[in-house]
Each structure stands twice: as C-alpha cells, then as structure tokens.
Amino acid sequence: MKDKIINTVYPQRCFVCMDFTKNEYNICHECLTKMEYINTPTCLKCGLPVFKCQCEKRYYHFKKFTAPFKNEGAMQKGIYNLKFNGFKSAAVFYGRAMAQIISIKFKKINFDYICPVPMGKIKKLCRGYNQSAILAENTAKFLNEINKTNAEKENKAFNKIIYNEDLLIKCKRTKTQHKVLYEERWTNLRNSYKVNPKYNLSGKTILLIDDIKTTGATLDECSRTLLLKGAKAVYCSAALVGY
Ligand SMILES: [Zn+2]
Ligand SMILES: [Zn+2]
C-alpha cells in the first residue's frame, strides 16, 4: 500500500537522476553504471580505506563498521533524494546493498536487534520520516532473507534479526553534525541519546544503522549508549561512508 502511494507520487522515477525508469529498484541503467562501490581494502573497524584508518588515534565503542558505497557521485545524490525529496523507494536499493555487505563482513555474528540512529522529534515531524529508519527496516528484511537462505543451505538454525525503530531515542536537541567543527562533533552529541526503557538489552548484539558515516561520532555515541544499558556488542553500517 505504502509503495503504491509512493509510486503514484513518483511514478517509477530513478531516485538518482529522477528520469523515468522501469527498473524494479527505481534506478535507471545509466545511474546503475555510476555506482561508487568501495573497491579499496578497508579497515574492518572504522570502514575507511586502510591508508586513511585512524583507529589508533580514536577509540570507537562499536566493534566494526561496513558500508557498500562511497559518499560521492550518484550514490550520494540518491541518499540526498531519499532525505530531502521524498524518494523513500531508494531505501529498498540501499537496504539490499547494505544487507549484502553485512552478510559478508559480519558473517559469523548473530544479531538480536537492528535499529536506526534516531532523529529528534521536531526534525522527524518536519521531514515526515527518519531515512535511517527506512534504511534499517529494508536492511533487516533483506538480511533475514539472505540469512534464512544460508541457514537452509548449511542446515543450521535461522536467527531472525528483529527490527526496532524506537530502540534508541534522541532526547536532547543538538546542532546539525555537519555544521560543527570536527572535534566538536564528538562533544556535541554527548548524552543526547537514550535507550527506550521498554527494551532489555542485556547480552544483546545490536546492528546500528545510519544513512552516512563521516567522522563516526554519531554511531559512536549511539553505541556507547547501547553498551551502557547492557548490550553485549554493537556493529554498525551505513549506506555511504565519507573519506
Ligand atoms: Zn538515473
Ligand atoms: Zn580503522
């Protein structure tokens, strides 16, 4: 139903260039050939190319990070259209790509919950949706499909990952991250998230999803918050990584 409404508003338009397309993922052939995959060896912890890794200088609360695309070109434009032009259908494409890389890079991890980086109430009210939440929802859907197929092939039990949009709550208003200086980004967010009291995170392994990772400060603060409430480990993913 939801998809039908979206398709009426944007009748099969490419979420990158906005031209008409008949592709099932709403991306035209030309834009598909322009995908900015990450094709250099990356650090498993911060997700940056090995030569840009800063893990020795910075402690991250999450165990590992992975993303399918670089924050540039067509893939960057697609996320922009998802955030600011209502192209929610883009989240199906990105969610699938994220699930694929997660299933490879975090192969042996049994996740209990998947949740998005939350958005402040006012911002969500203005935009109408949290793009990281729709990315997380789609990632969960595709990841469960992949894991189920793999479990059947290997004759193992299938652990379904549960999507919880409201696991984390943004409880403090903060300045927009890309508008503050690099070092301030780490203090800007301090104590601005909390875990929804209806969840018991004790011993849980969590997959945390954002749209774009730049410094990693947002993912780090959310991870710290989850660990404080008893989570066993936090792994992170985003559609794009900037470097
Ligand atoms: Zn296109
Ligand atoms: Zn690193």
Quick one: how far is CA 202 from the chain centroid? Answer: 23
**Phi, psi (5° rounding) for residue 230?**
100, 0
The Å distance, Cα 153 to ligand 1 centre, comes to 36
Please tell me the distance from the alpha carbon of residue 34 to that of residue 19, in angstroms, as a whole number.
15
C-alpha distances in angstroms, 149 versus 96, 142, 221? 15, 11, 34
The Å distance, Cα 166 to ligand 2 centre, comes to 29
Please tell me the distance from the alpha carbon of residue 107 to that of residue 212, in angstroms, as a whole number.
22
The predicted-structure confidence for 30-68, as pLDDT tens digits, reads as follows 998 888 878 889 998 999 999 989 898 889 999 999 999
Q: Which residues contact 23 (CB under 8 A, 6 or more apart)?
A: 14, 29, 32
Helices (H), the chain: 2-9, 29-32, 73-84, 90-105, 121-127, 131-154, 184-188, 217-228
Specify the pLDDT at position 178: 72
The Å distance, Cα 46 to ligand 2 centre, comes to 4
The Å distance, Cα 43 to ligand 2 centre, comes to 5
Written as six digits, the tokens of 76 are 């960057």
* 107-134 per-residue burial string, b: 16 or more CB within 10 A, e: under 16: eebebbbbbbbbbbeeeeeeeeebbbbb
Specify the pLDDT at position 182: 72
Specify the pLDDT at position 11: 64
The Å distance, Cα 113 to ligand 2 centre, comes to 24
C-alpha distances in angstroms, 94 versus 55, 163, 176, 215? 26, 16, 23, 20
Please tell me the distance from the alpha carbon of residue 236 to that of residue 129, in angstroms, as a whole number.
21
Residues of the chain with pLDDT under 50: 1
The Å distance, Cα 26 to ligand 1 centre, comes to 8
Specify the pLDDT at position 172: 85
Q: Which domains does the chain have, with CATH numbers?
A: 2-241 (3.40.50.2020)
Please tell me the distance from the alpha carbon of residue 33 to that of residue 74, in angstroms, as a whole number.
9
Specify the pLDDT at position 236: 98
Specify the pLDDT at position 5: 54
DSSP assignments along 104-142, one per residue: HHTTT---SEEEEPP--HHHHHHHSS-HHHHHHHHHHHH
Q: Give the ligand whose atoms come closest to the C-alpha of residue 48.
A: 2
